[in-house]
Amino acid sequence: MVDSSRFDFNLITTFLALWEERSVSKAALRLSLSQSAVSASLARLREATGDPLFVRARGEMQPTMRAVAMAEPLHNGATLIHAAFSSQAVFDPATSRQHFFLGMSDDFQIAAGPSLARRLSVTAPHVSITFRQANRHRVEALFEAGEIDFAVVAQPRAYAGLEQQDIGQSGYACLLDPVACGVKLPLSLEDYLALPHILVSFSGREGIVDQVLKTMGLARHVQSALTHFSALPSFLVGARAVATLPVHAAQALAAVSGLVVCPAPINMGMYSVSLLWQRAADNPWMRDSICGAFREVLRDLKAESSG
Arithmetic mean of pLDDT over the chain: 90
Q: Residues 176, 226: contact at Cβ < 8 Å?
A: no
DSSP assignment of 145-165, as one string?
TT--SEEEEES----TT-EEE
Please calculate the CA angle 251-255-258 and round it to the nearest 5 degrees: 110
Which pLDDT score is estimated for 159? 84
Q: Tally helices (H) and strands (E) across the chain.
A: 12, 12
Query: By mean pLDDT, which of 43-52, 92-101, 178-187, 200-209 is the weakest?
Result: 200-209
DSSP assignment of 99-150, as one string?
EEEEEE-HHHHHHHHHHHHHHHHHH-TT-EEEEEE--TTTHHHHHHTT--SE
Which pLDDT score is estimated for 300? 63
Rounded to whole angstroms, the Cα distance separating 28 from 18 reads: 9
Strand partners, 225: 199
- Hey, what amino acid is at 107? D
Q: Is pLDDT at 305 greater than 60 in this prediction?
A: no
**Residue 67, SS3 per DSSP:** helix
Ranges assigned E (strand) in the chain: 54-57, 60-63, 99-104, 128-133, 150-154, 163-170, 172-176, 197-200, 222-226, 242-246, 260-262, 271-277
Instruction: Write 179-185 long-range contacts (CB < 8 A, 24+).
Output: 180/237, 180/238, 180/239, 180/240, 181/240, 181/241, 181/242, 182/240, 185/260, 185/262
Which pLDDT score is estimated for 156? 87
Which pLDDT score is estimated for 163? 92
Other residues' Cβ atoms within 10 Å of the Cβ of residue 251: 18
- Mind listing the pLDDT tens digit for each residue in 97-150? 999 999 999 999 999 999 999 999 999 999 999 999 998 888 999 998 999 999
- Mind listing the pLDDT tens digit for each residue in 139-190? 999 998 999 999 999 998 888 889 999 999 999 999 999 999 999 999 999 9
Which pLDDT score is estimated for 280? 80
pTM: 0.69
Q: Residues 151, 142: contact at Cβ < 8 Å?
A: yes
- Mind listing the pLDDT tens digit for each residue in 261-276? 999 999 999 999 999 9
Which pLDDT score is estimated for 3? 60
What percent of the chain is predicted at pLDDT more than 90? 71
Rounded to whole angstroms, the Cα distance separating 159 from 176 reads: 36
Which pLDDT score is estimated for 1? 55
Rounded to whole angstroms, the Cα distance separating 162 from 149 reads: 11
Rounded to whole angstroms, the Cα distance separating 256 from 191 reads: 25
Q: What are phi and psi of 135, to 5 degrees?
A: -150, 180
